[in-house]
Amino acid sequence: MNYAMIAYIVGAVLRIEGVLLLGPCAAALYYSENVGWYYLCVAAFCELCGWLLVMLRPKDQVFYLKEGCVATALSWLALSFFGGLPMYISGQIPHFIDAMFESASGFTTTGATVCQSVEALAKSTLLWRSMTHWIGGMGILVFLLAIVPLSGGSNMNIMRAESPGPSVGKLVPKVRHTARILYLIYIGLTILEIILLIAGGMSLFDSVNHSMATAGTGGFGVRNDSIASYTPYLQWVITVFMIAFGVNFNAYYFILFRQFRKAFSMEEVRNYILIILASIFFVFLSIRSIYGVSDGLRHAAFQVGSIISTTGFTTADFDAWPQVARTILVLLMFIGSCAGSTGGGLKVSRVTIAVKTVKKELAAYLHPKSIKKIRFEGKPVEHEVVRSINVYFITFLILFTGSVLLVSINGYDLETNLTAVAATINNVGPGLAKVGPTVNFGHFSIFTKCVLIFDMIAGRLELFPLLMLFHPAIWKEVCRRRK
């Protein structure tokens, strides 16, 4: 294990976070809020820690997949810790674990909050919460790759550890250029949304916050009722952008280079859109009697887009909706967005391939000696990919059920426990019952919150990088070196 290199990467991430923490400082200066000082202190501290780690510039820059995974997992833990620190010491969120929960929820783009009233928070804290979404959405290590030249081909191992999806491809031969293109698309779409929201009469502060939260498919709002009190136009804009940020970014790359046919023939994107349209239709049917046609359609589209892209904004209390609508929304949490987007969940591509394996298995019963390769995006899927997807589902299931069991110690009903875990592990945000859209996660015990923090980070990093930290082999060499 190349520990020096891992420390170097974590250090570089902390330095970037230190710079980003100046964002809320600027907001505090503008709105003359005292909490800005705390952000400034943490920024300096973060920069110092990062600088110390970067000082150990490793001679040997080679690292393999295991180092990539460990560096990613540790970076995210460090990121969440330092991100929560200013909220805690400034007293905005009085309890330490609560601050960590809020920060982890931000960076993993979950959007589950512990705050009773977000309107009571300082503007700088609100901005920081939205910024964590934006950074966490595309991934801070991808950002790192875009700006820091790391030698060798091994930097693909970082990209693989942080980017969502069963197989991570590149758009162009170099990781660095790929990362840059992704960020350019990301920034472009975010700015476009800000402009459209301002055009609809939203204030600059609100539109910047909402755009960053939408871009990262996060879900932290600036009002207690999330998006409900904004005009229908603004709600529709946010709906469209939520869905757009759940699309595989490769599609935008193709559109950017005028390869429209390639972009629209992406099987994953097509399935994603189909699932959304079908879900909106059925949810609409079930809630039409409550809201009427135009409002019903808007609410249905907004909630479906919000849940499948794992954003978690709300315009209506869907916990009070009929059972069909509630169930559809919970199922959408698990499907999630496309691979290579900023969203969470199991990913449409994984679900698509999994469904195809079932179909293949049925065919194998009919014709036991038949040989058939599963195809996805027009290409045969390697056995290795299918196997890793199956293992992913199993691991997800184990983690999910284990978490539900641990959360149940808290004593709440099954619906709360199930949806709380589902909403965090899939990085959605709101669940049902006691974690529904109108309530928050503040009432859970400290232990439960720790479990949920773990679920959020595990879900964002696609399980394995975080689980790797628990493999004894990773730490063996540290112990051995000490002796």
- ∠ at Cα 317 (405, 455), nearest 5°? 30
Q: Is 380 helix (H, G, I), strand (E, B) or coil?
A: strand
Using DSSP, state whether 379 is helix, strand or coil. Answer: strand
CA 288 to chain centre: 31
Residue 41 phi, psi (nearest 5): -60, -50
Contact status: 156 vs another protein (CB under 8 A): yes
Helix (H, G, I), strand (E, B) or coil at 376: strand
337 CB burial (10 A radius; 0-12, 13-18, 19+)? buried
- Least distance in angstroms from the C-beta of 155 to another protein: 7
Q: Count of residues binding another protein (CB under 8 A)? A: 17
Q: How far apart are CA 431 and CA 333, in angstroms?
A: 9
In the complex, the smallest distance separating the C-beta of residue 253 from another protein, rounded to whole angstroms, is 13
Stretch that binds another protein, among 133-141, 171-179, 209-217, 308-316 (CB under 8 A): 171-179
The answer to whether residue 223 forms part of the interface with another protein (CB under 8 A) is no
- The least CB distance from residue 341 to another protein, in Å, is 21
Minimum CB distance to another protein, residue 246 (Å): 25
| Spatial distance between the Cα atoms of 5 and 68, rounded to a whole number of angstroms | 9
**Near another protein by CB under 8 A: residue from 32, 94, 173, 365:** 173
Span interacting with another protein, options 25-33, 154-162, 199-207, 215-223, rule CB under 8 A = 154-162
Q: How far is the CB of 363 from another protein (least distance, A)?
A: 24
Q: Which is nearer to another protein, 177 or 443 (CB)?
A: 177
Strand partners, 375: 380
Q: Is residue 147 involved in binding another protein (CB under 8 A)? A: no
Helices 267-291 and 348-366 meet at what angle, rounded to 10?
100
Binds another protein (CB under 8 A): choice among 119, 382, 413, 477:
382
Nearest alpha carbon to residue 186 among 340, 307, 357? 340
Which of 4, 37, 89, 177 binds another protein (CB under 8 A)? It is 177
Name the minimum Å distance from CB 65 to another protein: 8
48, 55, 56, 153: residue in contact with another protein (rule CB under 8 A): 153
Q: Is residue 175 a contact residue for another protein (CB under 8 A)?
A: yes
Question: In angstroms, rounded to a whole number, what is the distance separating the alpha carbons of residues 5 and 72?
Answer: 12
Residue 142 Cα distances to 1, 49, 78, 242, 347, angstroms: 22, 21, 16, 21, 19
170 binds another protein (CB under 8 A): yes
Nearer to another protein, 68 or 136 (CB): 68
Residue among 94, 149, 378, 472 that touches another protein (CB under 8 A): 149
**Residue 461, token pair as written in the block:** 């990093």
Any idea which residue has 């009929």 for tokens? 322
What's the CA gap between 423 and 281, in Å, rounded? 23
Nearer to another protein, 29 or 172 (CB): 172
- Binders of another protein among residues 64 to 83 (CB under 8 A) are 65
The CA angle 372-375-378, to the nearest 5 degrees, is 135
Region near another protein per CB under 8 A, out of 25-33, 153-161, 330-338, 346-354? 153-161
Q: Is residue 172 at the binding interface for another protein, with CB under 8 A as the rule?
A: yes
**Closest by CA position to 15, among listed 70, 56, 53:** 53
Q: Does 41 bind another protein (CB under 8 A)?
A: no
- Scanning 167-175, 205-213, 266-274, 419-427 for contacts with another protein by CB under 8 A, the matching segment is 167-175
The site for another protein (CB under 8 A) is made up of: 65, 149, 151-157, 170, 172-177, 382
